[in-house]
Amino acid sequence: MSAGARWQAMGFGSAAVQLAKAHGAHVIAVTSAAKAESLRMLGANDIVLRDQVLADVLDSHGVDIVVDLVGGPQWPQLLDVLQHKGRSAEAGAIGGEIAELDLRTLYLKGLSFFGCTVLEPEVFLNLVRHIEQGNIKPLVAETFALADIATAQAVFQQKGHVGKVVLKVCQD
């Protein structure tokens, strides 16, 4: 990724914000009002609220890279703001697993899509290096005992957290 690339994503993960910043990107995070300040503190340059129309907010300033953890009905907006030869990394579908794609957007802009479920080992090693150098700080939103897994899942589904919801396995 080139320095200064503009990243944009819905449901932007805290690690993605920090990693993009560590690579010199201008980060635009799409999120709820409740999470906006937390993402700004992590390094997001700009915040777009979920109920806003991306193209209107960006005012014809497109982005080079999208990192999407949400999917769902707002997904086509992400493609609309991608520049020619833009790239979209898809890593989740919490907003819905079915999304509409106008194939003309794909081929006329020459877009590339990447599924990001299983990454190459060097990607993980690079992430660990950034953590060790202090460029990225893993965030834990809440920790639950394994016995409280149902509560942890409910907190996760409320989508009000920034960082990871962690289950702690106690060995007695």
pLDDT tens track for 63-110: 999 999 888 888 999 999 999 999 999 988 888 899 999 999 999 999
Q: Write the pLDDT tens digit of every residue in 141-159.
A: 889 999 999 999 999 888 8
Cα–Cα nearest to 144, from 160, 162, 159, 164? 164
**Side-chain half-sphere of 50: how many Cα atoms within 13 Å?**
18
Interhelix angle 33-42/14-22, rounded to 10 degrees, is 30
The mean pLDDT of 11-31, rounded to a whole number, is: 83
- CA 130, distance to chain mean position in Å, is 17
Cα–Cα nearest to 107, from 90, 85, 125, 81? 85
Q: Which amino acid is at 12?
A: F
What is the Cα–Cα distance from 143 to 116, expressed in whole angstroms? 25
Q: Write the pLDDT tens digit of every residue in 108-142.
A: 999 999 988 777 888 778 878 888 998 888 888 88
77 close to 105: Cβ distance less than 8 angstroms? no
Burial label for 93, CB within 10 Å (0-12, 13-18, 19+), is middle
Beta strand extents in the chain (DSSP E only)? 6-10, 26-31, 46-49, 63-68, 82-90, 112-115, 140-145, 164-168
